[in-house]
Amino acid sequence: MSVKIRLKRFGTKKRPYYRIVVMDSRAPRDGRAIEEVGLYHPIEVEEKQLSIKEERIREWISKGARPTDTVKRLLNKLNLYMK
């Protein structure tokens, strides 16, 4: 089973917010997640935009979970994933 750290979309039309989740790579975008590890609000003020559980993300990456490109970009803002 290939595991990804990716975004799960919530919110209304033109007012999205996302949960950063750990999921099986074959699951649909809004399907069942293994674990929720953060939130991302692209419309909010800069300091309230991103909240994550750093320890859980580091643990999942050490177990072999791969973040998607968008999640990599978000993690690099916080200096958590530098590849």
Q: Which domain holds residue 34?
A: 3-77
Q: Is residue 26 part of a domain?
A: yes
CA 49/CA 3 separation, integer angstroms: 25
Under a CB-based contact definition with an 8 Å cutoff, are residues 23 and 2 in contact? no
The count of structural domains within the chain is 1
CATH code of the domain in which 14 resides: 3.30.1320.10
Whether the pLDDT of residue 21 is over 90: the answer is: yes
Q: Is residue 62 part of a domain?
A: yes
Residue 59: per-residue pLDDT: 94
pTM as predicted: 0.86
Under a CB-based contact definition with an 8 Å cutoff, are residues 40 and 28 in contact? no
Q: Is residue 83 part of a domain?
A: no
* β-sheet bridge partners, residue 12: 15
Q: Is residue 49 part of a domain?
A: yes
Residue 12: per-residue pLDDT: 92
